[in-house]
């Protein structure tokens, strides 16, 4: 059983590479939005959590699932956290959240992927992104072997994640999102938002929640590059993992 959360596809790609052919993939956003928090894990099946790090911490949707999750049967439990640089103490924070639900996290793997954090700075594109994707595939096969061997590791470092989580909370406002005239009204931003924070009104997106998970799906995946976050993002690159086919 593999729980995943993604904004721009990196963690979805990792989830697909790690899942066995008959393993169930559960989208954490769908689980939270539909209020499904209880699961029966098939006998001898691993439980995986695959998601991106935000502010060296855990995305809000992942936290909302983990704080209420109930698992019947648990075997080997692992997390693969994707990042643009480092996962910091996010693994320790996840371990703490899960242990409050009587779920023991046995290992956390860091997976370096292309950075999608274009709200803060200009992210790389071109060959740097391609190189990262090639290396990520190699790292994923190593991680898959360790998961198969049920490798166990002591998971530390939640202090840095707690500081990051405070910064993340302050940053979750949707106020700075806006849309320019190049919007073609396709509605993909609203469809792709895992937090249901966008509604189409009069053929244009409107942010209907004061705060969101800040996954960057809307701004990175808009086919017209019509969404901005203040003025700074106009000239910045966008990123979408090829697994999403540019959408």
Query: Which positions touch ligand FMN (CB under 6 A)?
Result: 6-11, 52-56, 82-86, 113, 115-117, 214-216, 241
Residue 205 exposure: Cα atoms within 13 Å on the Cβ side:
29
The H or E element containing residue 43 is none
Question: Per CB under 6 A, which region of 16-24, 86-94, 136-144, 192-200 contacts ligand SF4?
Answer: 192-200
Residue 211 interacts with ligand SF4 (CB under 6 A)?
no
Residue 86 exposure: Cα atoms within 13 Å on the Cβ side:
6
Residue 224 interacts with ligand SF4 (CB under 6 A)?
yes
Residue 87: phi and psi, rounded to 5, are -90, -5
> What x/- string results for residues 157 through 186 when contact with ligand SF4 is judged by CB under 6 A?
-----------------x----x---xxxx
Distance CA 26, CA 48 (A): 10
Paired with 70 in beta bridges are 38
Q: Residue 189 touches which of ligand FMN, ligand SF4, none (CB < 5 to 8 A by kind)? A: ligand SF4
Minimum distance, C-beta of residue 228 to ligand FMN, in the bound complex (Å): 15
Residue 189 interacts with ligand SF4 (CB under 6 A)?
yes
Distance CA 17, CA 20 (A): 8
Alpha-carbon Rg for the chain, nearest whole angstrom, is 18
The Cβ of residue 77 has, within 10 Å, a number of other Cβ atoms equal to: 19
Residue 81 interacts with ligand SF4 (CB under 6 A)?
no
Q: Residue 117 touches which of ligand FMN, ligand SF4, none (CB < 5 to 8 A by kind)? A: ligand FMN
Which residues of the chain form contacts with ligand SF4 (CB under 6 A)? 7, 174, 179, 183-189, 192-195, 197-198, 205, 207, 212-218, 222-224, 226-227
């Amino acid at each position: 059983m593999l729980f995943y959360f993604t904004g721009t596809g990196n963690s979805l790609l990792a989830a697909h590479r790690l899942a066995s052919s008959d393993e169930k993939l559960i989208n954490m956003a769908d689980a939270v939005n539909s209020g499904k928090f209880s699961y029966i894990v098939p006998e001898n099946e691993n439980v995986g959590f695959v998601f991106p790090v935000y502010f060296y911490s855990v995305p809000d949707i992942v936290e909302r699932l983990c704080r209420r999750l109930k698992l019947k049967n648990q075997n080997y439990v692992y997390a693969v956290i994707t990042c643009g640089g480092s996962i910091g103490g996010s693994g320790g924070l996840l371990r703490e959240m899960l242990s409050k639900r009587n779920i023991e996290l046995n290992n956390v793997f860091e997976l370096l992927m292309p950075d999608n954090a274009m709200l803060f700075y200009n992210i790389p594109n071109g060959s740097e992104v391609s190189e990262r994707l090639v290396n990520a595939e190699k790292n994923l096969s190593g991680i898959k072997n360790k998961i198969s061997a049920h490798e166990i590791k002591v998971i530390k470092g939640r202090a840095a994640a707690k500081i990051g989580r405070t910064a993340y909370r302050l940053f979750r406002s949707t106020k700075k999102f806006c849309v320019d005239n190049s919007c073609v009204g396709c509605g993909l931003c609203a469809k792709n938002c895992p937090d249901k924070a966008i509604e189409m009104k009069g053929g244009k997106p409107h942010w209907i929640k004061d705060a969101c998970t800040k996954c960057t799906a809307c701004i990175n995946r808009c086919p017209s590059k019509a969404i901005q976050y203040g003025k700074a993002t106009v000239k910045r690159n966008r990123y979408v993992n090829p697994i999403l086919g540019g959408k």
